[in-house]
Amino acid sequence: AKSAGKGCYRFWQSEYLTDVTPERMRLESELREGIENGELELHYQPKVEAETGQHCGLEALVRWQHPKLGLLYPDQFISIAEETNLIIELDRWVIRAVAHQQAEWRSAGFELLPVSINVSATHASRHELVVLFAEILAAYPYLANYIEIELTETAIMANPDQATLSLNSLLEMGVKSSVDDFGSGYTSLGYLKKLNANTLKIDRSFINGITTDFYDRDVAKAIIALANSMSMEVVAEGIETKAQWDLLREFGCQYLQGFYFSRPLTVACMTHILKHRLEEAPMLS
Ligand code: C2E
Ligand code: MG
Ligand code: MG
Ligand code: MG
């Protein structure tokens, strides 16, 4: 990269320009409208128990059905939303949408699975997050056990004192939390204890190499040991092969998530699965 000299500069310059292009600004205002017009949708990716492969939870992942560009993924619009307060609107939409979806599944008679929601760094460091959850739980008290949040390590460390306050307030309401992408950032272990998070999610980048790379394997093992020693649960994300599943089970990782088990699914698919689940194992109560 050093020898690229001039080229690097041009690259930097063009990257800088994309930040302020009319295109990016247009996307921002379109997103603002899109949220109001109902263009966002949630897909749900199951989490499974490592021992059995049985579904034990879901993660809500936002997508944007753009009228002209088609289906957009978070990487294509979350950073735009994060540059402005729009991310607050987006997060609010997601949290409400999950609550409504759970209420709908519940009234259809399905046994609910806990759904975890990704919350942005901006939101994590504001008291509004706690207020919003308090509103949601006042409307749907039974959801305390069925809504959880995921905060990335980076988001937590952007404002660790406020994140600690938020997570502890949520916990008092019965809402559990996970530290997402763990291992990719720099969480101080002192904070990790104070956060009182329920779960560590091992970053996908380590899972990738777990069957081939000693370093990745040792990091995954170390995170599992750390979680155990702090009485936290541990989820490995990004499982794509049976070999990765086998190895993580051997290491004592309790929960897994990844394309090997399921891709993120549309509401229609997820509803079908929840219905089928009910038929296979009818509730006794
Ligand atoms: P994340 O929370 O770490 O979510 C996991 C991402 O990895 C998802 O990408 C998921 O589709 C993908 N993934 C899951 N299993 C596998 C696998 O086996 N292999 C590979 N290659 N990928 C896998 P997605 O949906 O594109 O989301 C990307 C990120 O965007 C999320 O990372 C999260 O940080 C953020 N995000 C997603 N939904 C929301 C949301 O509703 N609000 C906010 N604020 N952020 C969100
Ligand atoms: Mg996540
Ligand atoms: Mg993650
Ligand atoms: Mg991620």
**Both structure tokens of 111:** 């046994």
Residue 44's beta-bridge partner residues?
60, 265
What is the rounded distance in angstroms from the CA atom of residue 114 to the CA atom of residue 147? 6
Distance (Å, rounded) from C-alpha 219 to C-alpha 223?
6
CA–centroid distance, 126 to ligand 3, in Å, is 21
Cα–Cα distance between 47 and 272 in angstroms, integer? 16
Ligand 1 shell residues, CB under 6 Å: 45, 61-62, 73-75, 78, 91, 94, 118-120, 150, 180-181, 237-240, 258-259, 264
CA–centroid distance, 173 to ligand 3, in Å, is: 24
**How far does residue 13's CA lie from ligand 3's centre (Å)?**
30
DSSP conformation letters of 160-218: HHHHHHHHHHHHHTT--EEEEEETSS---HHHHHHHT-SEEEE-HHHHHTTTT-HHHHH
Q: What one-letter code names the amino acid at 138?
A: A
How is residue 133 written in tokens?
Answer: 């959850």
Query: Can you give the pLDDT at residue 180?
Result: 96
Which residue, by CA, sits nearest to atom 46 of ligand 1? 118
Q: Residue 62 CA: which ligand is closest?
A: 1
Residues flanking ion ligand 3, Cβ below 5 Å = 180-181
Calculate how far, in angstroms, residue 3's C-alpha sits from the geometric centre of ligand 4: 32
The protein residue whose alpha carbon is closest to atom 25 in ligand 1 is 61
Tell me the pLDDT of the chain (285 aa) as tens digits: 334 334 334 444 444 445 567 778 889 999 999 999 999 999 999 999 999 999 999 999 999 999 999 999 999 999 999 988 899 999 999 999 999 999 999 999 999 999 999 999 888 888 889 999 999 999 999 999 999 999 999 999 989 999 999 999 999 999 999 999 999 888 788 888 999 999 999 999 999 999 999 999 999 999 999 999 999 999 999 999 999 999 999 999 999 999 999 999 999 999 999 998 877 755 544
Which burial class, exposed, middle or buried, applies to 116 when counting CB atoms under 10 A from its CB (0-12, 13-18, 19+)?
buried
What's the CA gap between 243 and 169, in Å, rounded? 39
C-alpha 266/C-alpha 278 separation (Å) is 19
* ipTM of this complex prediction, to 2 decimal places: 0.98
Looking at the CA of residue 203, tell me the nearest atom of ligand 1.
Answer: 3
Length of the chain: 285
* Residue 237: partners with Cβ closer than 8 Å, 6 or more residues away: 201, 202, 203, 204, 207, 256, 257, 258
Residue with CA nearest ligand 1 atom 34 = 118
| Ligand 1 atom with least separation from CA of 87 | 44
Identify the pLDDT of residue 20: 62
Spacing, Cα 183 to ligand 1 middle (Å): 16
Q: Which of 146, 150, 154 minimizes the C-alpha distance to 257?
A: 150
Query: In the 8-state DSSP scheme, what is residue 110?
Result: P
Phi and psi based region of residue 240 (left: phi greater than 0; alpha: psi -120 to 50; beta: remaining) = alpha
β 233-237/115-118 pair status: unpaired
Q: What is the pLDDT of residue 189?
A: 86
